[in-house]
């Protein structure tokens, strides 16, 4: 059971906008910034968003992050087939004194 809750799956068609959510509590998302990762099979996760809404260089602006209270969201606009993969949210949990990952959302591009 993950501390951060994500829907196990999401889907969309090419060109659409898909939003992946991440729900936490006051001890984690409520008081700390959220990070998002993209992962493809048999590869290491790739940093997509840090500090809630910041993109590392090289990440397309189709990917955007937001946070409100104890919820965070990753939006992917102009969905492309290559976006199909797993997406994880991460944040620091003050009660656990450690980083915690969401269970992940598997994105399918129909």
Residue 63 as a binder of other proteins (CB under 8 A): the answer is no
Residue 71 as a binder of other proteins (CB under 8 A): the answer is no
Residues 16-35 that bind other proteins (CB under 8 A): 33, 35
CA separation for the pair 88, 10 (Å, rounded):
12
Closest to 25 measured CA to CA, from 10, 5, 7, 6: 5
Residue 61 as a binder of other proteins (CB under 8 A): the answer is no
CA separation for the pair 63, 17 (Å, rounded):
10
Residue 91 as a binder of other proteins (CB under 8 A): the answer is yes
Residue 1 as a binder of other proteins (CB under 8 A): the answer is no
Task: Enumerate binding residues for other proteins (CB under 8 A).
Answer: 2, 33, 35, 37, 44-45, 47, 50-51, 54, 56, 86, 88, 90-92, 96-104
């Amino acid at each position: 059971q993950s501390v951060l809750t994500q829907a196990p799956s999401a889907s969309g068609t090419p060109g659409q906008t898909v939003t992946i959510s991440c729900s936490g509590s006051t001890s984690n998302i409520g008081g700390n910034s959220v990070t998002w990762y993209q992962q493809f099979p048999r590869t290491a996760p790739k940093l997509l968003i840090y500090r809630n809404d910041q993109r590392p260089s090289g990440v397309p602006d189709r990917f955007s992050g937001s946070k409100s209270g104890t919820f965070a969201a990753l939006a992917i606009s102009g969905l492309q087939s290559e976006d199909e993969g797993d997406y994880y949210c991460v944040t620091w949990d003050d009660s656990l004194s450690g980083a915690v990952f969401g269970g992940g959302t598997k994105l399918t591009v129909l």
